[in-house]
A and B are shown apart, each in its own frame.
Chain A
Amino acid sequence: MKNRTGFIKRIVSVAVFTAVLFCAVLYTYNVLRWKDTTGDYLSSLEQLKNTPKNSIDVVFVGSSHVYCDIYPCFLWEKFGIAAFDMSVSGQDKDSSYYQLKNLLKTQRPKVVCVDVFGLTFEKHAVEGNLYRNMLALKTSSDSVRLVNDYFEGDTDTDKGDFYFRWPIVHTRYRELKRYDFAEYIPNRYLRGEGIYFNIGEAYAAPAADDAFAPCELSQKNQKWLERLYDLSQKEGFSLVFTALPFYADYQSQP
Chain B
Amino acid sequence: MLFNSFEFVIFFPVVAGMYFILPKRIKPVWLLLSSYFFYMCWNVYYLSLILFTTLITFASAILIERVEKKSVKKAVLIGGIGVNLLILFVFKYFDFFLDNLNKLLGLAGHGGVVNPFDLLLPVGISFYTFQAIGYVVDVYRKDTPAERNIINYALFVSFFPQLVAGPIERSKNLLSQIKEIRNKRLFDYESAVSGFVIMLWGLFMKTVIADRAAIVVDRVFTNYYTFGFFELFLGALLFTLQIYADFAGYSSIAIGSARVMGIKLMENFNTPYFATSITDFWNRWHISLSTWFKDYVYIPLGGNRKGKLRKYFNLFVTFIVSGLWHGASWNFVAWGFLHGFYRVVGEITAPFKNRLYDRLIVKRDVFSFNLLKRIVTFLLVVFAWIFFRARSLNLALNYIKRMFLHINPWVLFGDDLYALGLDRREFGILAFALLLLLAVSLLRYKKNMDLGGFILGQNLWFKWLVMILLVIVILVYGEYGINFDSAKFIYFDF
> Residues on A close to B: CB < 8 A?
10, 13, 17, 20-21, 24-25, 28, 32, 160-161, 164, 166-168, 170-171, 173-174
Contact (Cβ within 8 A) A21 B467: yes
Residues of A within 8 Å of B471, CB to CB, are 21, 24-25
Bound together, the chains give a CA A101 to CA B18 distance in angstroms of 40
When C-beta atoms are compared, the residue in chain B nearest to A166 turns out to be B475
Query: Contact partner of A174 among B6, B425, B482, B484, CB < 8 A?
Result: B425
CB distance from B5 to the nearest CB of A (A): 9
Residues of B within 8 Å of A20, CB to CB, are 464, 468
Bound together, the chains give a CA A171 to CA B472 distance in angstroms of 13
CB distance from B111 to the nearest CB of A (A): 40
Bound together, the chains give a CA A32 to CA B464 distance in angstroms of 22
Contact (Cβ within 8 A) B476 A21: no
When C-beta atoms are compared, the residue in chain A nearest to B474 turns out to be A170
When C-beta atoms are compared, the residue in chain A nearest to B429 turns out to be A173
CB distance from B424 to the nearest CB of A (A): 11
When C-beta atoms are compared, the residue in chain B nearest to A165 turns out to be B481
CB distance from A253 to the nearest CB of B (A): 31
Chain A contact surface mostly: helix
Residues of B within 8 Å of A164, CB to CB, are 6
Show 14 A/B contacts (Cβ-Cβ < 8 Å), sorted by A. A10-B189, A21-B467, A21-B468, A21-B471, A25-B472, A28-B472, A32-B476, A161-B482, A168-B482, A170-B475, A170-B477, A170-B481, A171-B483, A174-B425
How many residue pairs, one in A and one in B, have C-beta atoms under 8 Å apart? 43
Q: Mark B466-494, 1 if CB is under 8 A from A, else 0.
A: 01100110011110111110000000000
CB distance from B215 to the nearest CB of A (A): 13
Contact (Cβ within 8 A) B482 A167: yes
Contact (Cβ within 8 A) B478 A170: yes
Bound together, the chains give a CA A25 to CA B481 distance in angstroms of 17
Residue B366 CB within 8 A of the other chain: no
CB distance from B186 to the nearest CB of A (A): 11
Bound together, the chains give a CA A161 to CA B471 distance in angstroms of 18
Residues of A within 8 Å of B481, CB to CB, are 161, 166-168, 170-171
Q: Which of B464, B471, B476 has the most chain A CB within a 10 Å cutoff?
A: B476
Q: Mark B72-98, 1 if CB is under 8 A from A, else 0.
A: 000000000000000000000000000
Residues of B within 8 Å of A174, CB to CB, are 425
Residues of A within 8 Å of B6, CB to CB, are 160, 164
Residues of A within 8 Å of B460, CB to CB, are 13
- A28 with B476: in contact, given A13-B460, A17-B464, A20-B468 (CB under 8 Å)? yes
CB distance from B212 to the nearest CB of A (A): 12
When C-beta atoms are compared, the residue in chain B nearest to A32 turns out to be B476
When C-beta atoms are compared, the residue in chain A nearest to B7 turns out to be A160
Q: Which of A160, A170, A173 has the most chain B CB within a 10 Å cutoff?
A: A170
When C-beta atoms are compared, the residue in chain A nearest to B483 turns out to be A171
* In the complex, chain B residues 419-471 whose Cβ is within 8 Å of any chain A Cβ: 425, 460, 464, 467-468, 471
CB distance from A57 to the nearest CB of B (A): 39
Contact (Cβ within 8 A) B467 A25: no
Query: Contact partner of A167 among B425, B472, B477, B480, CB < 8 A?
Result: B480
Residues of B within 8 Å of A168, CB to CB, are 481-482
When C-beta atoms are compared, the residue in chain A nearest to B9 turns out to be A164
Residues of A within 8 Å of B480, CB to CB, are 167, 170
CB distance from A183 to the nearest CB of B (A): 21
When C-beta atoms are compared, the residue in chain B nearest to A161 turns out to be B481
Contact (Cβ within 8 A) B189 A171: no
Residues of B within 8 Å of A32, CB to CB, are 476
Contact (Cβ within 8 A) B476 A170: yes
* In the complex, chain B residues 95-128 whose Cβ is within 8 Å of any chain A Cβ: none
When C-beta atoms are compared, the residue in chain A nearest to B472 turns out to be A28
Contact (Cβ within 8 A) B468 A173: no
CB distance from A124 to the nearest CB of B (A): 14
Residues of B within 8 Å of A161, CB to CB, are 481-482
